[in-house]
A = this chain, B = another copy of it.
Amino acid sequence: MSDPARAANTPVKPVRPVRIDTMDAKDNSSSRRRATRAKLYEAAVTLIAEQGFSATTVDEIAERAGVAKGTVYYNFKSKSELFEELLRYGVGLLTASLQSAADETAERGGGKVEALDAMIRAGLVFIDRYPAFTQLYVAELWRTNRAWQSTLLVVRQQAVAVVETVLREAVESGELSEEIDIPLTAAALVGMVLVAALDWQSFQRERSLDDVHGALSLLLHGRVSGR
């Protein structure tokens, strides 16, 4: 309450063009519905990232999105359903972006390590574009006993699998040592990128994406030790 930036609830015009332009799941629905859903995702992702799921009220989400509360329930069965939809869609975007980074490297005839490097960059670009989503994902991923636990598990596996595949190919082609433990290394790499990026966003805003990419790339290429 008492939000000075309360200009948002004048719904005169549908509020500005909306950041997450691409963010909509069910494509079967009318464009009107899609637009409404997009506004709700956008509002929910920011609020939940900041405050957490339980601390965010449906009234807040509706107000921020500039729609009536009833509209939320016209479009989603419940608060958690809205949230799960959000998770599914967001990780879908991330996975697609990682995959296409890998594919493009392959098309250019690049090696597998080069592909990993491209994926690191793609991850950073994604986080740079959707910091709130990433925040929320990390905050919820390792919770147990939550309703959407199973959704998250599936969704995490999708993302990690992309990295595992490239690692596996890299070992087969001899680019990476056979010593490496693929599932563990994949998890570590994803974690490294995730946490480094969130830290960058939260505590080291002045660094550029290239700085961060450089630091991670150095680690990946094992040029940290020695000279």
Contacts and interface: CB of A to CB of B under 8 A. Distances in A.
Interface of A: 49-55, 113, 135, 138-146, 153, 156, 174-181, 183-185, 187-192, 194-196, 198-204, 207, 211-212, 214-216, 218-227
B196 A50 contact: no
A212 B184 contact: yes
Nearest to A212: B184
A36 B122 CA distance: 49
Contacts of A195: 187-188, 190-192, 194-195
6 contacts: A52-B53, A138-B142, A141-B198, A184-B207, A191-B196, A195-B195
Copies of the protein in its oligomer: 2
Nearest to A179: B218
Contacts of A138: 138-139, 142
A209 to B, nearest CB: 12
B203 A188 contact: no
A135, A180, A190, A224 — most chain B CB neighbours (10 Å): A224
Nearest to A182: B215
Given A143-B49, A156-B203, A196 B184 contact: yes
B188 A192 contact: yes
B180 A218 contact: yes
Interface centre among A140, A181, A198 (most CB of B within 10 A): A181
Given A139-B138, A203-B156, A176 B224 contact: yes
A198 to B, nearest CB: 5
A200 B180 contact: no
